[in-house]
Homo-oligomer: A and B are copies of this chain.
C-alpha cells in the first residue's frame, strides 16, 4: 500500500515511533531484539518512510543535484559527457539511497544566478555537484555558496583550498600522450588548443609542452593552432597544419571533437591515418570509439569523478564531516587505431 506510516509500524512492533525512527536511520542504542522486532513490522506493513516528511523535519532532502551547462544548446548531438557524469553521480546516490535530480542550464543566461539560487532554496538538496565549466565561474560558485548547501566543483581548473573539488591530472596525462607520440618516432607533433572557457583544457597545452621537453623535442608556435572545441575547428586546424611547408606527422587535439575534425580533414585530403598522420584526442567521448579509425585518446574519468563528488557530499551529510581541497581522479591513455609509427 505504501500508506503505512511510522505510527503503524510503532503500534505493530509495540514500540514508540522514535524507536522505529532509530531503526530506519540505523542509529545506535537499540537492542538487537527490538531492532528485529521493528524490522519485522516494517516488512510486514511494507513501510517506506515518507521522504517529504523526513526532509521537512530534518531540513534536508535525500537529493543530489547535478548542475551542468546544457550541451544541447550548442551541440547537435550528445557527446556522452553528460551521460557519464550522470552515471557516476547516480552510482553514488543509489548506493546511499539518495536520488539524483539533473539541472542542465544555460551558462550564458543573465538570470542564471537567481535561477540556481531559487532551485536550491526550494529543493534544499543534500548536496550539489557543479560540473565544468560552471565550476570555474566565480559568480555561480558564490551564488551556490551563499545558499549554504554543500557543493563540489568538478574540474574547476584551478586550485581552491577553501572549497571542495574533484579534478583529474590533465597536465600529467597530456604530457604522457605527447611522450607516447614521440616514442613512436614523431618529431613534429602539433597541438590544437581548446576553448579557453574550460580552464582545465588549458592544462592540456601545458602538458603537451611538458611532454615535448621530456622527449627532447623543441616547441614551436607554428605547430600550435587554437580551436573552439568543435569538429569544424578541428577540420580547419588540420587544413592549416597539413598545408605547412613541413607538416606535422602527429596532431594532438585538446578534445576529441577536434581530433575527429582532423580525421575528417585528413580523409578529405587523402592523408592516411595512421600511416601518414597520427591523431590523438582527449576526452574519450562516444565519437572517439565509433569513428574509423578509432581514436587514440585520453580517457577522462568523468563518471568516477562525479561518483567521487556525490559520494563525498553524501558522506559529509551522514558523518557531519566536511571535505575540502582537491581530490584527483587519474585519467589514462587509450591507444586505438589513429596513432602509429611516424612515416620514415
Contact = CB atoms under 8 A, between A and B. Distances in A.
Interface of A: 2, 48-53, 55-56, 61, 63, 72, 76-80, 82-84, 86-87, 90, 99-104, 117-124, 147-148, 231, 260, 264, 267, 285-287, 289-292
A307 B62 CA distance: 26
21 contacts: A2-B120, A48-B118, A48-B122, A50-B122, A51-B122, A51-B124, A52-B52, A52-B61, A53-B56, A55-B55, A77-B285, A78-B83, A78-B286, A79-B286, A83-B83, A90-B104, A99-B101, A102-B102, A267-B292, A286-B286, A287-B290
A124 B290 contact: no
Given A51-B122, A52-B53, 16 more contacts: A2-B117, A2-B121, A2-B148, A48-B118, A50-B56, A51-B123, A56-B56, A72-B87, A77-B285, A77-B286, A77-B287, A79-B286, A102-B102, A267-B292, A286-B286, A290-B291
Nearest to A147: B2
Given A51-B124, A267-B292, A290-B287, A78 B78 contact: yes
Nearest to A267: B292
B80 A77 contact: yes
B80 A78 contact: yes
Nearest to A83: B78
Nearest to A231: B290
A5 to B, nearest CB: 12
Nearest to A80: B78
A30 B260 CA distance: 60
Given A56-B52, A101-B100, A76 B289 contact: yes
A124 B77 contact: no
A145 to B, nearest CB: 13
A151 to B, nearest CB: 15
A48 B121 contact: yes
A148 B3 CA distance: 11
A53 to B, nearest CB: 5
Nearest to A60: B52
A147 B100 CA distance: 21
A333 B314 CA distance: 46
Chain B CB within 10 Å — which of A52, A79, A104 has the most?
A52
B80 A50 contact: no
A79 B289 CA distance: 12
Contacts of A61: 52
Contacts of A56: 50, 52-53, 55-56
Contact of A123 (B80, B99, B285): B99
A289 B50 contact: no
A52 B55 contact: yes
A158 B292 CA distance: 38
A71 to B, nearest CB: 8
Contacts of A80: 77-78
B104 A102 contact: no
A49 to B, nearest CB: 7
